[in-house]
């Protein structure tokens, strides 16, 4: 287990990396004995630093929800991170590219809660009952820890991704909100355009068979920490496309068919 001084040092390095836009060495190399529990402890310490500076928790994200991504990361369950108030951008807005290091965009569904939701025995039906509405969302992910260590060539691991707030960096909500029982959420699909070219397509069933399963997993995991998902919080259920690189000047448009569309532009 990492000591409290080590947790604070790691969180401070993440904080500085985000501020300066200079990624730091993966923690899996800096702390060879690091565990998943350590990684979540680093994440919580970093989030605490942000809250102390005035940031407000607005929700959570679920990542690594596809079987292919889990196998590539040598993990058999998703991971999660925290959404803060300064991560949200309006549909159709300019996203300041200078805020990020190597931003990428993913296609998701966001669940906005109407009632508290907690584990340890939370099911998909509990999630649907507790949800006010579901709406299309783009997640912006980033890497404050180097994806490839320049000294050793080693790639970062799931321990690094979890420490790095599950790569969370931004959210764009838009499209047409729907009540969770009004559509079969498994079959929500989307086309992701970058600069007018379709880069990715996907179907929401790619998220653990049903996107609400991602939210249920999150509620059950957080219950072990004494955390309850709160009314009004936004929960990103997991991406159903691969991430697409975002460069300065890129315009993204996600077409969700009957659920409308979302767009944003990354400023240079």
- Of 192, 168, 165, 169, nearest to 264 (Cα)? 192
Q: Any idea which of 122-131, 153-162, 228-237 has the lowest mean pLDDT? A: 153-162
Please state the pTM of the whole predicted model: 0.95
> Which tokens hold the place of 136?
């299309």
Q: Determine the Cα–Cα distance for residues 24 and 219; give it in Å rounded to an integer.
A: 31
Give the whole-number percent of the chain exceeding pLDDT 90.
93
**Residue 41 CB: number of other CB atoms within 10 A?**
21
Q: CA-to-CA distance for 167 and 36, rounded, in angstroms?
A: 15
Q: Share the mean pLDDT of the chain.
A: 95
Question: pLDDT digits over 18-46, tens only?
Answer: 999 999 999 999 999 999 999 999 999 99
Q: Is the pLDDT of residue 141 over 90?
A: yes
Q: Assign 68 a pLDDT band (cuts: 50, 70, 90).
A: low
**Quick one: angle between helices 4-20 and 36-52, nearest 10?**
60
Query: Could you tell me the two tokens for 107?
Result: 């296609």
pLDDT tens digits for range 148-163: 999 999 988 999 999 9
* Strand 244-245 to 197-203 pairing: unpaired
In 3-state terms, the chain is what percent helix, strand and coil (to 5)?
35, 30, 35
Q: What is the pLDDT of residue 192?
A: 98
pLDDT band of 193, cuts 50, 70, 90: very high
Q: In this predicted structure, what is the pLDDT of residue 77?
A: 81
């Amino acid at each position: 287990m990492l000591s409290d001084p080590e947790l604070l040092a790691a969180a401070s390095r993440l904080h500085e990396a985000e501020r300066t836009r200079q990624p730091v060495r993966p923690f899996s190399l800096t702390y060879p004995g690091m565990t998943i529990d350590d990684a979540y402890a680093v994440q919580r310490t970093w989030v605490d630093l942000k809250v102390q500076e005035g940031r407000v928790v607005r929700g959570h994200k679920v990542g690594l929800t596809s079987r292919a991504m889990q196998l590539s990361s040598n993990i058999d369950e998703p991971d999660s991170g925290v959404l803060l108030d300064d991560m949200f951008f309006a549909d159709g807005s300019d996203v300041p590219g200078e805020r990020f290091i190597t931003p990428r965009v993913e296609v998701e569904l966001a669940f906005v809660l109407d009632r508290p939701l907690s584990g340890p025995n939370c099911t998909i039906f509990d999630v649907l009952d507790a949800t006010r509405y579901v709406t299309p969302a783009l997640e912006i992910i980033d890497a404050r820890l180097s994806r490839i260590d320049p000294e050793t060539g080693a790639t970062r691991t799931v321990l690094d991704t979890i420490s790095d707030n599950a790569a969370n960096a931004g959210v764009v909500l838009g499209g047409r909100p729907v009540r969770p029982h009004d559509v079969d959420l498994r079959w929500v699909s989307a086309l992701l355009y970058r600069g007018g070219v379709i880069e990715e397509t996907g179907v929401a069933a790619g998220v653990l068979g049903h996107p609400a399963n991602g939210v249920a997993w999150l509620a059950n995991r957080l219950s072990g920490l004494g955390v309850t998902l709160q009314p009004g919080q936004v929960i990103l259920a997991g991406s159903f496309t691969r991430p697409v690189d975002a460069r300065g000047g890129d315009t993204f448009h996600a077409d969700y068919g009957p659920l409308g569309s979302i767009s944003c532009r990354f400023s240079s």
